[in-house]
A and B are shown apart, each in its own frame.
Chain A
Amino acid sequence: MGVLYPSALHNRFTHSLGVYYLGQKAFSQVKKNSSILCPEIEEGKWKSLEVTFAFACLLHDCAHSAFSHTFEHHYLYQTTVKTSLIDLLRDSDPEFERDIENIGITPHEVVSSIVAIKFFKEPLEARQVDLALLARMITGCKFSDPTKSFMNCLISLLNGFSIDVDKLDYILRDTLTSGTANVIIDVERLLSSLVIKKDMDDAYKLYFNKNALSVINNVLNGRNFLYEWIYSHHQVWYNEELIKNGLDKLNRLLGKNGDKDLLSSFFSVESFFQNVIFNEFSFYLPCDGDLWYILKKYQNEIPEIKELISRQYTLKPLWKTFAEFMQYFNGLSEQEHKNIRGRIEDQFPKYLSENGFSTTINVIRINPKINTIQPNEINILLDDRVISFSDLMDASYTPSRLKQYYYIPFADPLLVTSKKEEAIKFLRTLKA
């Protein structure tokens, strides 16, 4: 967000508070709407689940890596992080080892679970938080045991595939702090419609009442708006490339200290519990500021870092949106798109050289990140009947097939301002 909206405040702390707040509201509504439908869930059980859920919401991102999701894979790369979490839960939740293989793992969620369980063990246990369930809520690891379907409903309320309090907070937060004109989401209406009850197979499921249909639509539209126009903005992608390439070069420049390099030292579970030393640096509770300090130290050695910090960008996009891309390459077949993409990095610099422009280019794939509702992902209660949201409303946001070929070439600013049309004409010739 900061690339486009420098004053938009969105960090782990504020987001965690937001998810905690929404989580409490959501749970309260679920309980109010579901207690009568689930009389077998005693008051004591509701209370205990409420506490665990609240702390899962608060701590779900406590070990989120610096620089958002760009580098979090370093947590899991060649480490035993997943095994560490399995070992921590072996006695209290022996099924966790099997169940975690049934999901896709998000690195920072695994590390957040470890940090939550180890770092905050005492205060959590003092409040009778179920640590194993907390870890499942944070990682989204559902029970395969069908008798635990009630718990699975709560897990998906924090960490699901479609609408959950985590996603809800960042949609609301990013819309508010950026000031962008996005849809308005009636959070009260949405959360007040939540209910858990048994389905025909006697398994508990999480439902939305029919009065939330319009809000569910808005949540999807709101999220897709942010992804299409904010998170996928060409400048955001370019900045991310600069950070990745800059840190890659810096990592190689600084070499290794034993078997550790800069990034594996920085993005390590150990750094949440003790100082991790790498060369002259010491990392403890690492955050964005720590990385910025290091980047600034080496800005004169690494051009990408200098460009990133100064915001004096050396390359400009040849086009900025998918709409322009479609206009310029209108009528091409998929094979022709593939041909252009396959030849651009080789042929375009030659063209640039022949025409007196800098030959440095950066072709960035713009991976479409939009959200539709998969069948049976969101279930609606229509009085006594249950129906899937995707059957009721058009939840599809079918992207153009050509979006899989979408990329933006960044090139010499002089070319972009003076000879853009000719350059694009040349690119079209690569289709054959």
Chain B
Amino acid sequence: MCYKIDSEYLVANYFIHNMDKAECSFRELNKLKTELESKIPGIYIDLSRNSISWMLDAYPSLFSLSDRGIKMIDTTSKDPVIDFNEQINLWLDNSVKKQLDHYFESY
């Protein structure tokens, strides 16, 4: 059975591991999603419109919609996003989290 990960995790980690970027396109997110799913067996990253919409609405102080995809609200610091990522990591299955961490170590 595959393990579903919400879009918030992908978006947060995109920004954390691309320190020079404050905006990402859906194309870039799709690319990262495909890469992660191919490298880590048993996961599915939910990048559906609903998942993105709920993320944007639940965390309006962090992210908003742009023409191409998603942008950070506070472009001066990544700390809020890093903080947010730590929080949502608490909900991830431990073994999946380890594999994701391992992937991003060499990202």
Contacts and interface: CB of A to CB of B under 8 A. Distances in A.
Contacts of B29: 104
A73 B2 contact: yes
A28 interface: no
A313 to B, nearest CB: 22
A73 B49 CA distance: 13
Interface string B76-98: 00000001101110110000000
Nearest to A161: B53
Contact of B25 (A76, A102, A367, A405): A102
B90 A161 contact: no
A248 B93 CA distance: 14
A247 B84 contact: no
Contact of A104 (B2, B7, B84): B7
Contacts of B59: 404
A77 B44 CA distance: 6
B13 interface: no
Interface residues of B, number: 37
| Contact count band on A | 35 or more
B27 A73 contact: no
A198 interface: no
A74 B42 CA distance: 10
B33 to A, nearest CB: 9
Interface of A is mostly: loop
Nearest to B44: A73
Contacts of B68: 102
Interface in B1-56: 1-2, 4, 6-7, 25-27, 29-31, 44, 46-54, 56
Contact of A374 (B6, B64, B84, B91): B64
B57 A105 contact: no
Contact of B49 (A106, A252, A375, A401): A106
Interface stretch (A54-62, A209-217, A392-400): A392-400
A338 interface: yes
B60 A375 contact: no
A419 B31 CA distance: 50
A290 interface: no
Contact of A102 (B27, B48, B57): B27
B65 interface: yes
B4 to A, nearest CB: 5
B1 A248 contact: yes
Interface string A103-119: 11111000000000000
Given A69-B50, A107-B48, A375-B65, 16 more contacts: A74-B2, A77-B2, A101-B27, A101-B31, A104-B30, A104-B47, A104-B48, A105-B48, A140-B49, A161-B49, A251-B1, A338-B90, A367-B54, A370-B54, A374-B64, A399-B57
Interface of A: 69, 73-74, 76-78, 101-107, 140, 159, 161, 247-248, 251-252, 261, 263, 334, 338, 341-342, 365, 367-372, 374-375, 377, 396-399, 401, 403-405
Report, nearest first, the 5 A-B pairs whose CB atoms are least far apart.
Answer: A106-B48, A104-B47, A73-B44, A77-B2, A374-B65
